[in-house]
Amino acid sequence: MKNILVFIISISYLFCFSQNKSETYDFKKSNWGDYKYQVKKAEKLRSVSENDNYIEYNSQISGIACTLTYIFTQGKLSAVKYRVSVEHENNNHYLIDREKLEDLLSRKYGKPTNYYENWISPVYEDDPSAYGYAISIGHYSIYTQWKNQNTDIVLTLEGSGNIIDLTIKYISKKYKELDKSAEDL
């Protein structure tokens, strides 16, 4: 009887442990190092583009339209990127979207580990109504970073040539060593 009780307790413990472990993911329902077929199975969206190095989807984050790109290094998931795809007539609206995304990421990952504003030219620095324009011509950029055990998360707002790029990059700490280009997504 004692052996049966020990067996039941052991099985219950293993079942509970395996349940908790399977709910831990690095990004959505995927883990760094997953193969493409595993990511495609886990991602419920329909892909719009893919090759050996990435799979791309149309998505939304916090109500903002974007593309979602899973990036593979040596066949394994090494990074993920959201790129805002909505175009604003008023470039200052990208700053509002950035704040919305920063709030979302801070709620999920806590206080940012780094925050950096970069002014290439101080011409528009004293005029908040021109910040969006300054970003679009490459005079001003904002970077915010969070870190957890396996991942670096970077929110970037930058631009050049009157084009603004607002992205969130999730970069595997383990796999970025295999391919330094993952940092330049």
**Amino acid letter for position 109:** Y
Q: Residue 8: pLDDT above 70?
A: no
Tell me the C-alpha distance between 71 and 135, whole Å.
26
State the pTM of this model: 0.83
Which pLDDT band holds residue 107 (cuts at 50, 70, 90)?
very high
Give tens-digit pLDDT for 136-160: 999 999 999 999 999 999 999 999 9
pLDDT band at 18 (very low <50, low <70, confident <90, very high): very low
Extract the runs of DSSP E, i.e. beta strands, from the chain: 47-50, 54-61, 64-73, 76-84, 114-119, 140-147, 151-160, 163-172
pLDDT digits 0-9 by tens, 46-60: 999 999 999 999 999
3-state secondary structure of 158: strand
Phi, psi values for residue 38, rounded to 5°: -70, -40
pLDDT at 89 over 60: yes
**Residue-range domain boundaries for the chain:** 87-173
pLDDT higher for 12 or 49?
A: 49
Per residue in 108-139, pLDDT tens? 999 999 999 999 998 999 999 999 999 999 99
The per-residue pLDDT for 47 is 93
Report percent pLDDT > 90 for the chain.
Answer: 79
